[in-house]
Amino acid sequence: MEYNYIKSLHLIFVITWFAGLFYIVRLFVYQIEAQTKENPARTILSDQYKIMTKRLWYIITWPSMILALGFAIWLLALRPFWVADAWMQVKLAFVVALIFYHIKCHLIFKAHYNNTYKYSSNWMRMFNEGATLILFSVVFLVILKNAVNWIYGTVGIVVFSVILMLGVKMYKRIREKK
Q: Which residues contribute to the annotated binding site?
A: 10, 91
Annotated binding site for heme: 10, 91
If we measure between CA atoms, which residue out of 129, 128, 108, 117 comes closest to residue 53?
108
Of 166, 137, 165, which is closest to residue 152 (Cα–Cα)? 137
- Give the total residue count for the chain: 178
User: What does the alpha-carbon distance between residue 159 and residue 154 come to, in Å, rounded to a whole number?
Assistant: 9
Q: How many helices (H) and strands (E) does the chain have?
A: 6, 0
Type and span of the H or E element at 98: helix 86-113
CB atoms within 10 A of CB 147: 13
Q: Using CA atoms, how far apart are residues 83 and 149, in angstroms rounded to an integer?
A: 19
Give burial (CB, 10 Å; 0-12/13-18/19+) of 92: middle
